[in-house]
Amino acid sequence: MIKALYANGHLDEGARILDYLFDIGPQRSMLPELLRLQAIQQRSIGRDEEALSTLRQALSVADENGTWAWRIQCATDLAIILKDRMQVAEAKGVIEPIYDQFRDGFDIPYMQRARSVVSELKTFSLQD
């Protein structure tokens, strides 16, 4: 629901719902996704440094939980911000080790998105 609100330009309403979810104490398994959504909101209002920090936290929690889907999604979002800041080596260091661990599921939209980011980062390396 929060993603749909963001996609339709209702950032404030999405942020209010997200704040509420944090206030009531989300299940640990959902925390990486909630943090990732928070980072999307932070970035949308120009707070890239906060978004980077939030995504690093989300990735750490996803690692601790062993939640592969959240790991790759958090890593993808983090790599995108780093790539946009021209921190290509760091972006590759975030996403490639996680992406390379997958053996299937490449038809899932978030995996297609991750593959696209990995491919784009490789083109940066070829231009150097």
Convert the pLDDT of each residue in 104-124 to its tens digit. Answer: 889 999 999 999 999 999 998
CA distance 36 to 56: 9
The mean predicted confidence, pLDDT, of the chain is 87
CA distances from 95 to 54, 57, 82 (A): 16, 15, 11
User: 114: Cβ–Cβ under 8 A, 6 or more apart, which residues?
Assistant: 72, 73, 75, 76, 95, 99
Quote the pTM value.
0.80
Map out the domains of the chain with their CATH numbers.
2-127 (1.25.40.10)
| Tokens of residue 104, six digits | 């299937």
**DSSP assignment, residue 108?**
S
| Tokens of residue 62, six digits | 């996803």
